[in-house]
Structure 1
Amino acid sequence: MFTPILGALSPIAFTLGPIEVRWYGIIIASAVVIATYLAVREGKKRGIAEDNIYDLILWGLPIAIICARIYYVVFQWSYYSQNLNQVYRIWDGGIAIYGGLIGAVLVLITLCKKRGFSPWLMMDVAAPTVIMSQGIGRWGNFMNQEAHGRATTLSFLHSLHLPEFIIQQMYIKGTYYQPTFLYESVWDLTGFVLLMLLRHRKNLFKRGEILFSYLIWYSFGRFFIEGMRTDSLMLGPIRVSQWLSVILFFGSIIWLLLRRYWRPLDPWYLDGTDDTYHK
């Protein structure tokens, strides 16, 4: 006999007068702080001044959030066109990671071109911290009871040997749901560990290949997990994130192989900024 459900966790961590501070924001902010620390530490080893990374965070984070929200709103325009006062309520959830990545990459490329060092190297430094942040950020979705999968049963959730607080949070309006937030979090954090373990192996990664490895790993898992979700952004009958995952997965593999073939003299990741600038 299973333990009875006691109730979901509140998405609000605490209040400051009329201001509600949500767990979603706290979790995302914590992920950014950890990612920044790890990126600065790795950047120093690769010859990237920490000011460059701080500037990337300073400019890239707000633009990434704005782009992530725009991406989400565009593909949910049928709703937001009728509820314009909801467009800016980002604290209620509703951002798309692919939109955020697009915004962050644009800022990163602009910054690197202006400062005169390789955007590939910067993206390699950032890639493991990005997938780590994605894995942590999914727990913000957990607190908001979003990014879940299809309806399921209590017995199925117990068969996964989940902690009771996760099972409670997956009980939404009288129905149990698949914890797809958890599947993606585990997948992302596993990818983070693998990249951290492998990126310092000598003569393993050319410049840019940690980025491609991240994209291959993330998009592969996201394709299958997205297929389980009930809140996918749609373009007609197409799940946008699934098709984008397919493009990124095969595009990254092809690009990685072609770069190895056509540019065999490209520097290794561990060379850092000691060589001449490569676009």
Structure 2
Amino acid sequence: MSLPLAPLGLSIPSPSSAWQYLDLTAIYNDIFHQNATFDVRIHMYAICILAGIVAAVLFTNARLNRRGAERWVIIDLAIWCVPFGIVGGRIFHVVTHTDDYFGPGKNWVTIFYVWEGGLAIFGALIFGAIGAWLGCRQTGIRFWVFVDALVPGLMLAQAFGRLGNYFNVELYGTPTTLPWGLQVPSSNAAYPVGLPAGTLFHPTFAYEILWNLFGLFVILLINKNVKLEWGKTFALYLVWYGSGRMWFESIRTDYSDVFFGLRTNVWAAMGAVVLGIIIFLVQSRRHTGLVPSAYAPGRGPNEAGFQPVITGEVDHPEVDSSGDLAGDDDDADEVAPATALHR
């Protein structure tokens, strides 16, 4: 029984190959009236990833500054987090998509072709957390302060990353008759065998973009009214993203290793939800007060003879709408009682 085709009026068209990269050679020839033959292209996927990184850095910098952290300390942290996150995201993707890189007719060298897509957020989170811990050790920023401050920027970066998947025409879902289905050329390498041309597919990239942006709004709204510190903002992110990802992942059609009937990333999403709940419960029991400083004891720049840059208004000295602790001493003094609600 064939799937009825949905009307194309509101459907989402896939970008043409010309929109999948910036042809710098063509731009150079047009501007300088040359006929250069070198081939230099920047994939839109890479541009989206870079845009997400920049957005996350700027967003997190502002939040850390409002916590009392030194201006642009985020750069010292990003130097650790970004490379670790990219490497981890790639490793996780390759490990869970082994048939794409190994076996007859496959070229294992494409493992390094990151610009073609294939960065797994769960691998990026795992390795990025290691990089964050190392960066916090170097800068003196508390680890939980940093990851809590990072959450909104991280969700924004993920939205940019999913936009990159759109330009690569990848990671779409099962066929759908919904009017906003994604048009995918039947010539696409991942087009399901046996389906007629013109079949529409769930735009899972768009679902995840909207889920992340809505989650960003919800988490900022919660932090505006309730103090979620000592890693509890990050815990909320894990529960939010993991919950949505379980569904998005379950309707995707791209290849993935399967364990006990579930795709690898469904298991990873479930793990994120469980980990988020554990972090929230443990930190709620261990820490009932506010984080006293963005820095671990004895590591603040003011203790070295100069004051941290603080921008914006906050309800409590050295505290912003993110909630975090980190650094090395997880049990360092907290700011008095559990005034969880903003005035």
Tell me if TM exceeds 0.5.
yes
Report the counterpart of residue 37 of structure 1 in structure 2: 58
Report the counterpart of residue 12 of structure 1 in structure 2: 21
Structure 1 segment 53-202 matched on structure 2, within 5 A: 53-82=74-103, 83-153=107-177, 156=178, 158=179, 160=180, 167-168=182-183, 170-173=184-187, 174=197, 175-201=199-225
CA distance in 1, matches of 2:244, 2:186: 25
Cα shift at 1:7 = 6.8
In structure 1, the gaps of 5 or more residues are none
Aligned pair in 2 of structure 1 residues 217, 5: CA closer, same or farther (>3 Å)?
Answer: closer
Higher helix share: 1
Cα shift at 1:251 = 2.6
Opposite residue 80 of structure 2, the aligned amino acid is W
RCO comparison, higher one (Cα < 8 Å, 6+): 2
Report the counterpart of residue 52 of structure 1 in structure 2: 73
Q: 1:217 aligns with which of 240, 249, 253?
A: 240
CA distance in 1, matches of 2:162, 2:59: 19
Cα shift at 1:14 = 2.2
Q: 2:287 aligns with which of 257, 263, 271?
A: 263
Cα shift at 1:255 = 2.7
CA distance in 2, matches of 1:87, 1:244: 21
Three-state SS of the structure 1 residue aligned to 2:200 is: strand
Number of equivalenced pairs:
268
Cα shift at 1:272 = 4.0
Cα shift at 1:2 = 4.6
CA distance in 2, matches of 1:44, 1:64: 23
Opposite residue 46 of structure 2, the aligned amino acid is G
> CA contact under 8 A between 1:117 and 1:273: conserved in structure 2?
no
Aligned pair in 2 of structure 1 residues 88, 2: CA closer, same or farther (>3 Å)?
Answer: closer
Listed one character per residue, the Cα deviations across residues 175-222 of structure 1 (whole Å, up to 9, x for unaligned) are 422101111110011111122233233x53122111011111100100
Report the counterpart of residue 302 of structure 2 in structure 1: none
Cα shift at 1:78 = 3.1
In structure 2, the gaps of 5 or more residues are 1-6, 26-37, 188-196, 295-315, 331-343
Cα shift at 1:108 = 0.6
Report the counterpart of residue 227 of structure 2 in structure 1: 204
Cα shift at 1:94 = 1.3
User: Once structures 1 and 2 are overlaid, which stretch shifts more, 176-185 or 75-84?
Assistant: 75-84
Report the counterpart of residue 229 of structure 1 in structure 2: 252
